[in-house]
Amino acid sequence: MQLSFLAAAVFFLLGAGDESARVNDLGHRLMCACGCNQILLECNHVGCSYSDRMRAELIAAVDRADSDDLTLQSFVQKYGPTVLAAPTKTGFNRVAWIAPYMALVLGIGLVSLVVRAWRSRPLLLPADAPAPVHGAELERFREQARKETEG
Amino acid sequence: MSQIGSFALLLALALSAYSFLAGLLALLRQGQGSERLGETARRAGIATFAVILLAAVVLVVAAFQNDFSIAYIFHHSNRDLPAPYKFATLWSGQEGSLLFWSLLLAAYALVLRLRYKTDVRLFAHASVIIAAVQVFFLLLLNFAAHPFAVMQGSLPADGNGLNPLLQYPEMVIHPPMLYLGYVGFTIPFAFALAALVMRYPGEKWIHITRRWTMVTWGLLTCGIFLGAHWAYSVLGWGGYWGGDPVENASLMPWLTGTAFLHSVMMQEKRGMLKTWNMWLIFSTFMLSIFGTFLTRSGVVSSVHAFAQSSIGDWFVAFLAVIFATCVFFYVKNRSHLRSEHRLESLVSRESSFLFNNLLLLVACFTVLWGTLFPVLSEWVQGNKVTVGPPFFNRVNIPVALLLLLLTAVGPLLAWRRTSLESLKRNFLWPAIGAVGTGVVLVGLGLRPWKDASYFYSLMTIMLSVLVALTVISEFVRGGRVIGRHTGQRLFASMAQLARRNTRRYGGYIVHFGVIVIMIGFAGSAFNQDREQEMGFGDKMAIGPYTLVCQSYTQDDNPNYASEWAVINVFKGGKQIATLNPERRFYKASQQTSTMVANRSTPQEDLYLVYEGQNQDTGRPIIKAHLNPLVMWIWVGVWIIIAGTALALVPNAPAPVRVPAPARMETAPVVAGD
């Protein structure tokens, strides 16, 4: 019965154009509530007592022209916050989104500081080491290497 | 049977404890007899392998003999289970997989202990560290997750059977590959810690562990992608990566291991990043253990089977000990890790490695953060939230694109300093090629402004072209130089070039494999799917294909009952294939599993799933996915394997040069990697 309902729902969905795109989008922002840890539209458990019903509710919400926020909120009210496939961008959940970008920015800052510190560090060389090559002489060697390694 | 296995595990614990303690004493006591004591420790370590192997063999034999008096065999096998899966029983459950982990560690340690003459003291230190890790796993096996625990009460006639999802050919090789990767990182960790403990001079420990690390990284890569292929082929949802904690657990050490493989070159070539590399390999090992803790402790929920158990505390304690040990020796001997050179320019190979490492670690942090955030949310807000694929995709795709850009730019930068002119010269044509590809794709109808996934897809393909062209130009440039000096043709010269610096050109081939995989990922933006009830003669259209249901039927064998459909596939009015999507009901475990029917071509996969039967009409419901470019993901993995294999081959000597009196007399300079 559930599967026939699902099949009917899918027929309806496929003929709906923009609505089907919305169902597809929203259905990929929701998790199946059966505990399978799968995206709602990807849950394919036989006998899953949740996914068929949830998909039908989603189609009904889109059919009523409910907004995305209202649709998602109604799922949260009914199934709890774990029904959303990603944290919201409100309250403490914002931290989930901010932290990786903060890590990236801090990392870039840290690497830049390290690079600056290294560039200003005096070079430690053994007493008998040949003097390092700089400036025009280094460029001359590079040009020679380029000529010998390129066609 | 169970008594032999239990005795073997106890003996293995005693032997590895002896190997650890005697080895430690021998290292601490520099006096007479310490050498002999150290030798007994080494031999005890070797014997540990034999005894753990015995325990593993006993468990496999018990599975083949249907010895359901052993609880593990009862829970993970049954009489009608096919032979290959009976063998796979060894790693199909919590206790067996820990035994398998222990066996692999003992095997790695065996190789190390047999090759101890390379550097007796360094190997002795590493051997003691590995013995300590082995003691932990054997303590777990003997006292917390005993694989030979016996059933209470009357003996059951048959077992519960293996989880149907695991009854797939890849499951016979996916876990061993993954575990070889996880466990293998113990070896470079042990050498790194040993080098720190003994203030080992120079970079020899890195040369010794380089092949270990590359092999381990290659095996982990294979393991991860075999898992992805298994998920794609078995789970029946049309995807290969779901951001599940177990998947994330395997990705984290892979990311830090990849960072280590890059940054270690700076230490070898320039004597820089010594502290960084030390902590990278420490982190990689700890993330392997941490991933195991995550997936076996029940801290985070997972679709994988190990999630509910009580061994989490053991792993927390073990991680604390590892971390404390690493910090202690780092603080004690950090003066030994001073950098020998300074960074001369921001536009240099060194800084490209720094930023490469940064991006890999940010990706690793994101995966870790996303995996743990539900737990953090529960602590702070009192309720769990889900952190699924939408989060990981949104955060990690931009990072991956930046990494692709660095993969293109990095090899074009010279060590120490690169002039902007040289960068422009090497970068111009690849950049024109990448932009041209983008223009062609937009001209063909790709609209990146319509959807973020299309934008990411376009960027991925453009950057992949950029990387491919830089890799090709590196081969061609080097090949021409060799050709000029040897008189060989271009392709022969390029092959010669690769043989002369296998690590560098093997690395380029690995990069090429990575971009092929990325192109496969980019195809997911254009996935389509349809679902339909299909009776005899019913049709379903998806993309260029028309599917026609020829028949549907049922079958039964001792292991499972099955239903399947026979679907004829038409393209352009011509029948091109017949596919049989199937659903199985496994009798012993009373569980259902899908067998996906997939027609894979370089252009796209036509992927059919038998969803079930309509109870009223008895007709099958078929879900069809059209997944573009997926085959390239698996092709890319083969290229990575080939590149890694090439990098493991020792360099060939330079060929004899053809005399060329008119040319310069200096030896050819080939840019170093």
Residue pLDDT, tens place only, A69-82: 999 999 999 988 88
Domain boundary among A41, A63, A86: A86
Query: Nearest by CB to A7, which of B384, B621, B668?
Result: B621
Q: Which of B266, B270, B300, B343 to mutate to test the interface with A (most CBs of A within 10 A)?
A: B343
Chain centroid to Cα B446, Å, comes to 32
Residues of A in contact with B366 (CB under 8 A): 100, 103
Same domain, A52 and A99: no
Residues 414-453 (B) with a CB less than 8 A from some CB of A: 414, 417, 419, 422
What's phi and psi for B61, nearest 5 deg? Answer: -60, -40
**Full domain range(s) for residue A120:** 92-149
pLDDT score of B655:
58
Token pair belonging to A56: 């039908």
- Smallest Cα distance from B83 to chain A, Å: 27
Question: Could you tell me what percent of chain B has a pLDDT over 70?
Answer: 95
Domain boundary among A47, A63, A86: A86
The mean per-residue pLDDT over the stretch B206-230 comes to: 91
Helix (H) or strand (E) run with residue B613 in it: strand B604-613
Residues 567-586 (B) with a CB less than 8 A from some CB of A: 583
In angstroms, the Cα distances linking B375 to A92, B138, B240, B364, B392 are 13, 29, 25, 18, 17
More reliable by pLDDT, B204 or B39:
B39
Same domain, A133 and A108: yes
pLDDT score of B515:
95
Residues of A in contact with B370 (CB under 8 A): 96
**B481, A148: Cβ pair inside 8 Å?**
yes
**pLDDT band, residue B659 (cuts 50/70/90):** low
- What's the residue count for chain A? 151
pLDDT score of A1:
41
**pLDDT band, residue A149 (cuts 50/70/90):** low
Of A36, A25, A99, A81, nearest to B242 by C-alpha is A36
- Smallest Cα distance from B113 to chain A, Å: 36
Query: Nearest by CB to A44, which of B237, B339, B399?
Result: B237
- Smallest Cα distance from B97 to chain A, Å: 23
Phi-psi region of B328 (alpha: psi -120 to 50; beta: other; left: phi over 0): alpha
pLDDT score of B656:
56
CA gap A55, A23 in Å, rounded:
9
pLDDT score of A2:
42
* Closest Cα in chain B to A125: B340
Residues 318-347 (B) with a CB less than 8 A from some CB of A: 338-346
**A149, B481: Cβ pair inside 8 Å?**
yes
Contacts of B182 (CB under 8 A, 6+ apart): B101, B220, B250, B253, B288, B291, B292
Same domain, A98 and A145: yes
Radius of gyration of chain A (CA): 29
Candidate from A21-25, B400-404, B512-516 with smallest mean pLDDT: A21-25
* Closest Cα in chain A to B395: A100
The mean per-residue pLDDT over the stretch B164-185 comes to: 86
* ipTM computed for the complex: 0.81
CA gap A147, B345 in Å, rounded:
23
CA gap B246, A93 in Å, rounded:
23
* Closest Cα in chain B to A84: B386
Contacts of B92 (CB under 8 A, 6+ apart): B76, B162, B163, B166, B171
In angstroms, the Cα distances linking B646 to B412, B498, B504 are 21, 8, 9
Is residue A36 within 8 Å of residue A29, measured between CB atoms? no
Same domain, A43 and A80: yes
B378 touches chain A (CB under 8 A): no
Candidate from A95-109, B257-271, B621-635 with smallest mean pLDDT: B257-271
Candidate from B17-26, B52-61, B86-95, B452-461 with smallest mean pLDDT: B86-95
Same domain, A74 and A13: yes
Query: Nearest by CB to A36, which of B239, B303, B344?
Result: B303
Instruction: For B351-395, write each residue's pLDDT tens digit.
Output: 888 899 999 999 999 999 999 999 899 999 888 888 988 899 899
Q: Is B278 exposed, middle or buried (0-12, 13-18, 19+ CB in 10 A)?
A: buried
Token pair belonging to A102: 């903060």
Of A33, A132, A49, nearest to A82 by C-alpha is A33
pLDDT score of B472:
92
Candidate from B136-150, B415-429, B477-491 with smallest mean pLDDT: B415-429
**pLDDT band, residue A12 (cuts 50/70/90):** very low
What's phi and psi for B440, nearest 5 deg? Answer: -60, -45
Q: SS3 helix, strand, coil % of chain B, rounded to 5?
A: 65, 10, 25
Residues 70-89 (B) with a CB less than 8 A from some CB of A: none
Q: In B430-544, at which residue ranges do the beta strands (DSSP E only) sit?
A: 528-533, 539-542
pLDDT score of B304:
59
Residues of B in contact with A92 (CB under 8 A): 377, 380-381
Same domain, A106 and A136: yes
Contacts of B574 (CB under 8 A, 6+ apart): none
pLDDT score of B625:
92
Q: Which of A115, A119, A123 to mutate to test the interface with B (most CBs of B within 10 A)?
A: A115
Of A46, A47, A22, A43, nearest to A33 by C-alpha is A43
Of B23, B28, B6, B230, nearest to B109 by C-alpha is B23
More reliable by pLDDT, B669 or B553:
B553
User: Is 60 exceeded by the pLDDT of residue B510?
Assistant: yes
**A31, B616: Cβ pair inside 8 Å?**
no
Same domain, A8 and A48: yes
Residues of A in contact with B338 (CB under 8 A): 124
pLDDT, averaged across chain B: 87
* Closest Cα in chain B to A143: B422
Chain centroid to Cα B322, Å, comes to 23
At residue B378, what is the residue type?
Answer: E
Instruction: Using the CB atoms, write b or e for B434-457: b if 16+ within 10 Å.
Output: beebbeebeeeebebeeeebbbbb
Query: Nearest by CB to A85, which of B302, B358, B389?
Result: B389
Q: Which of B376, B669, B670, B673 to mutate to test the interface with A (most CBs of A within 10 A)?
A: B669
Q: Is B257 exposed, middle or buried (0-12, 13-18, 19+ CB in 10 A)?
A: buried
The mean per-residue pLDDT over the stretch B227-232 comes to: 90
Query: Nearest by CB to B388, which of A86, A104, A142?
Result: A86
In angstroms, the Cα distances linking B491 to B399, B466, B471, B476, B513 are 35, 21, 14, 8, 20
Token pair belonging to B470: 């830089």
Token pair belonging to B11: 């003996």
Same domain, A8 and A73: yes
pTM over 0.80: yes
B301 touches chain A (CB under 8 A): yes
Token pair belonging to B408: 């293109």
Q: In B91-214, at which residue ranges do the beta strands (DSSP E only) sit?
A: none
Contacts of B22 (CB under 8 A, 6+ apart): B37, B38, B40, B41, B44
At residue B337, what is the residue type?
Answer: L
Per the structure, the count of domains in chain A is: 2
B590 touches chain A (CB under 8 A): no
Domain spans, chain B: 1-153+160-167, 169-338+354-362+387-397, 527-631
Same domain, A22 and A77: yes
**B481, A80: Cβ pair inside 8 Å?**
no
pLDDT score of B269:
80
SS3 B611: strand
**A92, B377: Cβ pair inside 8 Å?**
yes
More reliable by pLDDT, B165 or B629:
B629
Same domain, A99 and A81: no
Full 3-state SS string of chain A: CHHHHHHHHHHHHHCCCHHHHHHHHHHCCEECCCCCCCEHHHCCCCCCCCHHHHHHHHHHHHHCCCCHHHHHHHHHHHHCHHHECCCCCCHHHHHHHHHHHHHHHHHHHHHHHHHHHHHHCCCCCCCCCCCCCCHHHHHHHHHHHHHHHCC
Q: SS3 helix, strand, coil % of chain A, rounded to 5?
A: 65, 5, 30
Same domain, A81 and A97: no
Residues of A in contact with B361 (CB under 8 A): 107
Instruction: For B100-111, write each residue's pLDDT tens digit.
Output: 999 999 999 999
**pLDDT band, residue A127 (cuts 50/70/90):** low
Number of neighbouring beta carbons within 10 Å of residue B530: 17
Instruction: For B397-436, write each residue's pLDDT tens digit.
Output: 999 999 999 999 888 887 777 777 777 888 888 999 999 9
User: Is 50 exceeded by the pLDDT of residue B666?
Assistant: no
Chain centroid to Cα B195, Å, comes to 26
CA gap B297, B294 in Å, rounded:
6
User: Is 70 exceeded by the pLDDT of residue A129?
Assistant: no
pLDDT score of B577:
93
Helix (H) or strand (E) run with residue B600 in it: strand B597-600
Residues of A in contact with B623 (CB under 8 A): 44
Is residue B46 within 8 Å of residue B113, measured between CB atoms? yes
**A121, B669: Cβ pair inside 8 Å?**
no
- Smallest Cα distance from A52 to chain B, Å: 12
**A96, B370: Cβ pair inside 8 Å?**
yes
Cα dihedral B279, B285, B291, B293 sign = negative
In angstroms, the Cα distances linking A48 to A51, A80, B388 are 6, 18, 20
Query: Nearest by CB to A151, which of B383, B395, B477?
Result: B477
Same domain, A48 and A98: no
pLDDT score of A38:
82
Residues of B in contact with A6 (CB under 8 A): 531, 621
The mean per-residue pLDDT over the stretch B219-242 comes to: 88
